[in-house]
Chain A
């Protein structure tokens, strides 16, 4: 596609519920990243996928967070048993594996 797309654009959920956030990277991009932007923590790296290699999960804040990337393209970030501190904007980016990451518009998550 023309750019990185994310869905939903906004999500409101109740504490304790699970949520799934989706990212469609730019066609042909082999690398995919998830970041989180929150008031208290700024922009934080969460997880990185590169081709068929094992993902780098070093930024995931807890075991309630997981992500997968199917067929080397679309990725889903899952947050289980959401907490209020999970409220943030979740940003996805993709790159050809080189130096430039292109970001999607983000999903704004609000946990009540």
Chain B
């Protein structure tokens, strides 16, 4: 079955690193994604990783994928107050492009 889980809430101080975790159950997933949602807004694609990779870095963002444990994480370096939002991980499956989303993690960055 398909099930993607995330912790609900994370609070950090400005300048610290944030790590948001996600577990998924479908081993056939080909791509895994991180989306950001700010209040009242749609989903903004942050980054994605192909399932045959174990790490991807994009400026302040680092994605780690442990395919054996079906664990995905997003690390945000030097977290800023503007990073406060809800972060969703999502998985897609080969030949079937729908995304299955996690429950979302609300990140709160305090000054």
Do A and B belong to a common assembly?
yes
Query: Could you list which residues of chain A lie within 8 angstroms of chain B, going by C-beta atoms?
Result: 4, 31, 33, 35, 42-43, 45, 48, 50, 56, 59, 91, 93, 95, 97, 99-106
When distances are taken between beta carbons in the complex, the residues of chain B under 8 Å from A95 are: 97
Q: Does B34 reach chain A (CB closer than 8 Å)?
A: no
A102 and B97 in contact (CB under 8 A), knowing A42-B103, A43-B88?
A: no
Instruction: Say whether chain A's binding surface is mostly helix, strand, loop, or mixed.
Output: strand
- Further pairs besides A100-B48, A105-B42: 18, Cβ < 8 Å: A4-B42, A33-B97, A33-B98, A35-B99, A42-B103, A42-B104, A45-B98, A56-B96, A56-B98, A91-B42, A95-B97, A97-B97, A99-B31, A99-B50, A99-B92, A101-B97, A103-B35, A106-B42
Q: Give the interface of B toward A (CB within 8 A).
A: 30-31, 35, 41-45, 48, 50, 88, 90, 92, 96-104
Number of A-B pairs, beta carbon distance below 8 Å: 49
Q: Which residue of A4, A48, A91 is within 8 Å of B98 (Cβ)?
A: A48
B32 to chain A, nearest CB (A): 10
